[in-house]
């Protein structure tokens, strides 16, 4: 499959191809090395070397082998695709599905289902097993590299809704509390001394007075493991249904949903804003939260 194609301009005629591809297409060095080794970069239809100079008007192509068809039964994993094109996928994950194989779950993951359907897919981000909502995936190494760089720059905006016990007169606008690992349990915890930077912004709060609960709308400014769960538990308001950082023996799914995802498309540069459907296994959103979500 042709992954990328560009025409060298007059000003680029003296550039080595590896410089041109890095500057014009954001190609990381590691991916370029892999492409050169597989003779996947062509200039005017002929395999090229990284030190070759571009010629004005020449056609530079970056090719990538198409994914192989997979055989056998598909994993029994519900797979809801909200958006797809040749470069990316946006998946609406249901609660209870593991993203990647772990030491406790070897198969039947979201990654397995994506690879079986599409032949290749790389999850750019993750959600906990019991968190529902949107995940971004790349369909080939170049889009994975570009989106990975965007994640590292914190250019991908992720907005979550959570339901927590308790009502406060005022919620902080920002929870800025480093997160580390408890050496005994392995769980995450707020650790001001040895923890890694972790910031969660609270965009809105909608109390449900009669039930003694509060809906929170939040955006991640960093992406630590279990960040929202740890931060809200640290405030004294663990997410409803979170039996890891809240009360033990809690039944029912965790009330945390990744509702909005905003990012720049790796090929077009267009700003993409994708919204998840509201899961049927969570309480219905109050009207006020619906309005706040629309403005988030």
d(CA 215, CA 206): 5
Active site residue 128: yes
Beta strand segments in the chain, E: 2-7, 41-43, 46-47, 59-63, 81-84, 88-93, 122-123, 132-138, 157-165, 174-176, 179-181, 188-190, 199-208, 213-220, 256-264, 271-275
Burial 143-162 (b: 16+ CB within 10 A, else e): bbbbbbebeeeeebebbbbb
Task: Dig out the tokens for 286 from the structure.
Answer: 């109050």
d(CA 133, CA 258): 4
- Which position among 128, 130, 176, 191 bears the catalytic label? 128
Active site residues: 128
């Amino acid at each position: 499959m042709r992954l990328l194609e560009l025409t060298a301009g007059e000003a680029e005629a003296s550039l080595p191809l590896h410089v041109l591809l890095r500057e014009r297409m954001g190609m990381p060095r590691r991916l370029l090395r892999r492409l050169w080794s597989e003779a996947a970069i062509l200039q005017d239809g002929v395999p090229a070397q990284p030190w070759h100079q571009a010629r004005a008007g020449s056609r530079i192509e970056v090719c990538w082998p198409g994914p192989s068809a997979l055989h056998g039964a598909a994993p029994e994993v519900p797979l809801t695709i909200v958006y797809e094109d040749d470069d990316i996928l946006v998946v609406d994950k249901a609660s209870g599905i593991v993203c990647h194989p772990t030491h406790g779950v070897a198969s039947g993951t979201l990654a397995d289902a994506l690879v079986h359907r599409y032949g290749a897919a790389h999850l750019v981000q993750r959600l906990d097993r019991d968190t529902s909502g949107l995940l971004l995936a790349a369909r080939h190494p170049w889009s994975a590299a570009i989106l990975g760089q965007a994640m590292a720059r914190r250019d991908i905006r992720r907005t979550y809704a959570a339901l927590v016990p308790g009502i406060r007169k005022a919620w902080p606008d920002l929870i800025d509390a480093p997160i580390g690992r408890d050496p005994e349990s392995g769980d995450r915890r707020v650790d001001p001394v040895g923890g890694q930077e972790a910031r969660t912004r609270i965009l809105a709060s909608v109390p449900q007075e009669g039930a003694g609960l509060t809906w929170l709308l939040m955006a991640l400014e960093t992406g630590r493991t279990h960040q929202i769960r740890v931060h809200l538990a640290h405030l004294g308001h663990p997410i409803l249904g979170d039996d890891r950082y809240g009360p033990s023996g809690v039944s029912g799914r965790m009330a945390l949903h990744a509702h909005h995802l905003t990012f720049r498309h790796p090929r077009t540069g267009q700003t993409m804003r994708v919204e998840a459907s509201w899961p049927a296994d969570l309480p219905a959103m109050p009207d006020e939260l619906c309005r706040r979500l629309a403005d988030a």
